[in-house]
């Protein structure tokens, strides 16, 4: 999206949502474009990095709402407050069944998975630490070699387990962020 189109769409969305400080916000985004262009980026690259103007306007709308609610001099907007509370109440049972119960199960699985990966690593290193004792016994050479490969195999499984758990944790956090972003959009969408 070109600079002019981006800024026009952002201005229209901010006006539509009655966001205060319109001139300051627009000056900030014009400055983003001028800095980006000075650094050799195209208008499309800059607008892609800045994001969707509708989502930006919704974020400013949320910020304005928070400031309005916190400001005792501004009158309390009952209609808006009831809309937000109503949407939050609609989301409460959904969030309980979608976030809390599966969230507890998912968090338990993640903790258990990390526990197994860490325990495997500890077991592998424990076997490695006992190698001198195994070597001092009058066991044959093949027992000692088998102990080395067993410990390396267990450490390797721990590394693979940690990599899997890292990806699983990352995907779980991203899913939670996307769901919470959907919650915010649902509450703010009028």
89 C-beta neighbours (distance < 10 Å), count: 9
Percentage of residues of the chain with pLDDT beyond 70: 76
Q: Are residues 30 and 102 in the same domain?
A: no
Q: Does pLDDT of 85 surpass 70?
A: no
Give pLDDT, residue 81: 62
76 in a domain, yes or no?
no
Q: Are residues 130 and 175 in the same domain?
A: yes
Q: Are residues 129 and 164 in the same domain?
A: yes
Say if residues 136 and 147 touch (Cβ distance below 8 Å): no
Cα distances (Å, whole numbers) of residue 164 to 138, 150, 170: 40, 21, 10
Q: Per residue in 101-112, pLDDT tens?
A: 888 888 999 999
Distance CA 163, CA 67 (A): 43
As for how many domains the chain has, the answer is 2
The pTM for the full model equals 0.51
Chosen domain end from 21, 47, 70: 70
Q: Are residues 51 and 88 in the same domain?
A: no
Poorest-pLDDT segment among 11-15, 23-27, 42-46, 137-141? 137-141
128 in a domain, yes or no?
yes
Q: Per residue in 114-124, pLDDT tens?
A: 999 999 989 88
Q: Are residues 30 and 88 in the same domain?
A: no
Give pLDDT, residue 88: 61
Chosen domain end from 40, 70, 100: 70
124 in a domain, yes or no?
yes
16 in a domain, yes or no?
yes
Q: What is the pLDDT of the chain when averaged over all its residues?
A: 81
pLDDT (average), residues 35-46: 91
75 in a domain, yes or no?
no
106 in a domain, yes or no?
yes
Q: Does pLDDT of 182 surpass 70?
A: yes
Domain assignment of residue 156, given as a range: 81-188
Q: Are residues 87 and 60 in the same domain?
A: no
Q: Are residues 95 and 8 in the same domain?
A: no
184 in a domain, yes or no?
yes
Q: Are residues 93 and 56 in the same domain?
A: no
Q: Are residues 125 and 166 in the same domain?
A: yes
DSSP 138: S
- How many separate helices (H) and strands (E) can be counted in the chain? 8, 0
Say if residues 179 and 99 touch (Cβ distance below 8 Å): yes
Say if residues 46 and 32 touch (Cβ distance below 8 Å): yes
Q: Are residues 111 and 64 in the same domain?
A: no
Give pLDDT, residue 8: 94
Chosen domain end from 70, 104, 129: 70
């Amino acid at each position: 999206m070109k600079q002019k189109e981006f800024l026009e769409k952002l201005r229209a969305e901010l006006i539509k949502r009655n966001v205060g400080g319109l001139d300051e916000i627009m000056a900030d985004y014009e400055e983003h474009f001028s800095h980006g262009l000075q650094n050799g980026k195209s208008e499309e690259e800059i607008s892609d990095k800045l994001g969707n103007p509708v989502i930006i306007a919704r974020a400013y709308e949320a910020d304005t709402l928070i400031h309005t609610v916190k400001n005792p001099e501004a009158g309390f907007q009952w209609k808006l407050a009831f809309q937000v509370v109503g949407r939050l109440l609609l989301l409460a049972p959904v969030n309980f069944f979608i976030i809390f119960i599966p969230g507890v199960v998912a968090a338990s699985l993640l903790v258990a998975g990390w526990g197994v990966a860490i325990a495997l690593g500890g077991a592998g290193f424990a076997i490695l630490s006992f190698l001198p004792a195994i070597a001092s016994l009058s066991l044959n050479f093949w027992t000692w070699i088998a102990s080395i490969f067993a410990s390396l195999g267990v450490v390797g499984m721990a590394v693979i387990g940690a990599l899997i758990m890292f990806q699983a944790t990352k995907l779980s956090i991203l899913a939670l962020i996307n769901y919470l972003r959907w919650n915010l959009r649902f509450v703010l969408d009028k």
